[in-house]
Chains A and B, each alone.
Chain A
Amino acid sequence: MRNSGFTTEPCCKAGPGNKTRPSSVSTGMKGISVADDDNRQRFIAIALPHLDAAYNLARWLTRNDHDAEDVVQEACMKAMRHFSGFRGDVVRPWLLQIVRHTCYSWLKENRPAEVVSFDDSADAWPEHAAPAADEPHAVAQRKADRALINQAIAGLPIAYREVLVLRELEDLSYRDIARIADIPIGTVMSRLARARGLMQQALQPGARPVLRTVARHAPHTSVRGEKQ
């Protein structure tokens, strides 16, 4: 199941030089001299239309505009370099896989605390949010504040956040999500279920303090949340 779909997998594994570089991103023209004109034209025509998806994922993973731009740019450079090797039929998951990998490398360098290796079994449903029995629709019917929703997603642990964003905002299939996040489909299922459970918890009235990581890295979203 792992690494099934894309023949260019190695390009994301051994990103040249991203071990030694801290936060700066190789933006020089040097990197793409390898890619020939034909490649670049193809890249523009085929991959660039998915730039919004790339940025959306990077933005949700880094939770910061500037970092997301850096990451997406670096990911696109990588993608361009390896575009000739792309043989799959769908570009979006392929590009998102590279973006996701670049995000994780970047976070490991710059915010290692956020990407501690994730153990699904350790997070074994300690307090599943069984919706209050009398009000099952509470979450749905609440006029949920936009900022609150954003805050709740941003507050999810990254492993849950990525599957939720890929599923709900990019509308990708479990299969594609499994490829992008490099996990089995069964794990996609359980992480998604857990992510939604955590979201329900977070969106229940008066339950907001559950998500404590929000204020640290996304102060801009927490301000708006106070409105209502």
Chain B
Amino acid sequence: MNTPLDLRHLNAFLDSELSLSEQLEMETRLEQDAALRSEVAGLQGLRSTVRQQADYHAAPAALRDRIAALAGAPPVSTAAPTPQRRFALRPAGLALGLVLAALLTWGIVPRWWQATHDDRLMQQAIASHVRATLGQRLVDVASSDRHTVKPWLSARLDFSPPVHDLQAQGVVFLGGRVDYLDERPVAVLVYKQKEHVIDAFIWPTQEAESPMRASSQRGFNARHWTHAGMSYWLVSDLNQDELAVVAFSLEHQDAGDTAR
């Protein structure tokens, strides 16, 4: 029974790599042959032991940063997941799958995922905001004329962000820059109100329309919404109320744009 050919097939059976007819044939043989069954059980045990206990070596953050830098991107390691256990046992996996399906149906996972995703984006946005203010490199194109800024941004991105100057609201439009967020290049519109810099990050998204949400972290306030296929993140050290005014006028202008 234990000829190499059988073992190969036994392993392929275990890995669901046999053709359907072979797979069924093997199942029939297993029903009749206790020795074969115990062999499969042994292999299954080994398999789950290896999958659960063998080290999965995730790439070190430094290496990830180095390669991203070689490819011309800013460090991305903060957002890098470090998967330890990617798989579970088949039956356990099935059960997990059912539970996940249930959670997905009830929308719990999407909401939870969205929350952590937003959290991460906000951290990235704040980091970019702080880097820009620290480095005195607020804008790449300094102009209060949106007809200068918009083409400048469009030429450097694979999309054309809506650009508004908000002068009527008493907000100074400083210009724009390009940054890297959510694993893609994004447009940043830079405004100033009473010495507070406001960064508006804009990029295309697949996400559905979502109303404005406020959040804050480490003293920075943020406003986030999605409209017409664009994701918006406003970040500033301006207080939440005044930031809301700026955010609403920006949103209003945009809505006007798309309605027109």
| A interface, CB within 8 angstroms of B | 27, 29, 32, 37, 40-41, 43-45, 48, 51-52, 54-56, 59-60, 65, 68-69, 72-73, 76-77, 80, 124-125, 128, 130-131, 136-141, 144, 146, 149-150, 153, 164, 167-169, 171, 173-174, 186, 189-190, 192-193, 196-197, 199-200, 203
Residue numbers in B under 8 Å from A146 (CB-CB): 53-55
A164 to B48, CA, bound (A): 13
Q: Which B1-50 residues have C-beta < 8 A from chain A?
A: 2, 4, 7-8, 10-12, 15, 17, 38-39, 41-50
B168: interface (CB < 8 Å):
no
Name the residue on A nearest B183 (C-beta). A45
Whether the Cβ atoms of B15 and A167 lie closer than 8 Å is yes
B91: interface (CB < 8 Å):
no
Whether the Cβ atoms of B60 and A200 lie closer than 8 Å is no
Whether the Cβ atoms of B49 and A149 lie closer than 8 Å is yes
| B interface, CB within 8 angstroms of A | 2, 4, 7-8, 10-12, 15, 17, 38-39, 41-51, 53-60, 63-64, 66-68, 70-73, 76, 80-83, 86-87, 183-185
Instruction: Decide if the interface of chain A is mainly helix, strand, loop or mixed.
Output: helix
Residue numbers in A under 8 Å from B17 (CB-CB): 173-174, 189
Residue numbers in A under 8 Å from B83 (CB-CB): 52
Whether the Cβ atoms of A193 and B4 lie closer than 8 Å is yes
Whether the Cβ atoms of A137 and B70 lie closer than 8 Å is no
A55 to B82, CA, bound (A): 12
A51 to B86, CA, bound (A): 15
Name the residue on B nearest A77 (C-beta). B70
Name the residue on B nearest A170 (C-beta). B86
A124 to B87, CA, bound (A): 32
Nearest CB of chain B from residue A80's CB, rounded to whole Å: 6
Residue numbers in B under 8 Å from A41 (CB-CB): 71-73, 185
Q: A52-B83, A140-B49, A149-B50 are in contact. Are A190 and B60 (CB under 8 A)?
A: no
Q: A32-B70, A131-B38, A193-B11 are in contact. Are A144 and B53 (CB under 8 A)?
A: yes
Q: Which among A68, A146, A193 has the highest number of chain B CB atoms within 10 Å?
A: A193
Residue numbers in A under 8 Å from B54 (CB-CB): 146, 149-150, 153, 168-169
Residue numbers in B under 8 Å from A164 (CB-CB): 50
Across the interface, A45 reaches (CB within 8 A) one of B2, B56, B57, B184, namely: B184
Whether the Cβ atoms of A128 and B57 lie closer than 8 Å is no
Nearest CB of chain A from residue B226's CB, rounded to whole Å: 21
Q: Which among B44, B45, B48, B50 has the highest number of chain A CB atoms within 10 Å?
A: B50
A160 to B47, CA, bound (A): 15
Whether the Cβ atoms of B11 and A40 lie closer than 8 Å is no
Q: A45-B184, A69-B60, A136-B42 are in contact. Are A196 and B11 (CB under 8 A)?
A: yes
Name the residue on A nearest B50 (C-beta). A168
Whether the Cβ atoms of A196 and B43 lie closer than 8 Å is yes
Name the residue on B nearest A189 (C-beta). B8
Whether the Cβ atoms of A174 and B15 lie closer than 8 Å is yes
Q: Which among B10, B11, B39, B48 has the highest number of chain A CB atoms within 10 Å?
A: B11
Whether the Cβ atoms of A192 and B57 lie closer than 8 Å is no
Whether the Cβ atoms of B82 and A52 lie closer than 8 Å is yes
Whether the Cβ atoms of B15 and A32 lie closer than 8 Å is no
A27 to B80, CA, bound (A): 22
Whether the Cβ atoms of B82 and A174 lie closer than 8 Å is no
Name the residue on A nearest B5 (C-beta). A190
A-B contact pairs, 15 of them (CB 8 A): A27-B70, A41-B71, A44-B72, A51-B67, A52-B58, A54-B59, A55-B60, A73-B70, A80-B71, A140-B45, A149-B49, A149-B54, A189-B11, A196-B46, A199-B50
Name the residue on A nearest B71 (C-beta). A40
Residue numbers in B under 8 Å from A40 (CB-CB): 71-73
Across the interface, A56 reaches (CB within 8 A) one of B4, B42, B57, B81, namely: B57
A76 to B72, CA, bound (A): 13
A69 to B39, CA, bound (A): 39
Nearest CB of chain A from residue B35's CB, rounded to whole Å: 8
Residue numbers in B under 8 Å from A131 (CB-CB): 38-39, 42
Whether the Cβ atoms of B39 and A136 lie closer than 8 Å is yes
Name the residue on B nearest A75 (C-beta). B67
Whether the Cβ atoms of B183 and A44 lie closer than 8 Å is yes
